[in-house]
Structure 1
Amino acid sequence: MSKVPENGEETASEASSPVPGEAAQANASPVRSRPSWKQIAVAAGGFAVTVVGTVVVTLVATHNSARRANAAAYAHGLLDGAEAARNEYDFDEDDD
């Protein structure tokens, strides 16, 4: 609490002291409303690197299993075609 003289007036040192928040605001730089182009470029570059990295990791992780699945599907297709040929399936019948 501040000391008030008996006549009700404040002393000169108390009256001239700034409010604590005003001094900090006066020395602070102005608030920027949007990021600079450098910040946008860095963020876009980081996003692009993240996307490319994710795609590469996903492809590497699924490459072997996808290759096995494709080979199995191809083999099953060949076996189905061979079985259909043994059963004398007319492959041109559907073209009418």
Structure 2
Amino acid sequence: MSKVPENGEEMASEASGPVAGEAAQAKAGPVRSGPPWKQIAVAAGGLAVTALGAVVVTLVATRNSARMANAAAYAHGLLDGANAARNGYDFDEDDD
């Protein structure tokens, strides 16, 4: 739309029309697709640090007594399996 001022001349807005929009896009330069490699590297590094921190926190939170209890339970399970095998239990019978 154009406005008519008091002196009778028409004024067109600078951004109106397809030609003005194309000129503005041409000045902006080419559009890059995807984030730059530096952002990807920073994100990957942050993910690695987060994963390493989670592992460290988990290992610190697990006390020696819990690790010993888990090892003892595992050893008892192995002994129970060995005793069952010695007594003739068929482990493949349940897999039918």
TM-score of the superposition, structure 2-length normalised? Answer: 0.49
Q: Greater Rg, structure 1 or structure 2?
A: 1
TM-score of the superposition, structure 1-length normalised? Answer: 0.49
If asked which structure has higher relative contact order (CA below 8 Å, sep 6+), I would say 2
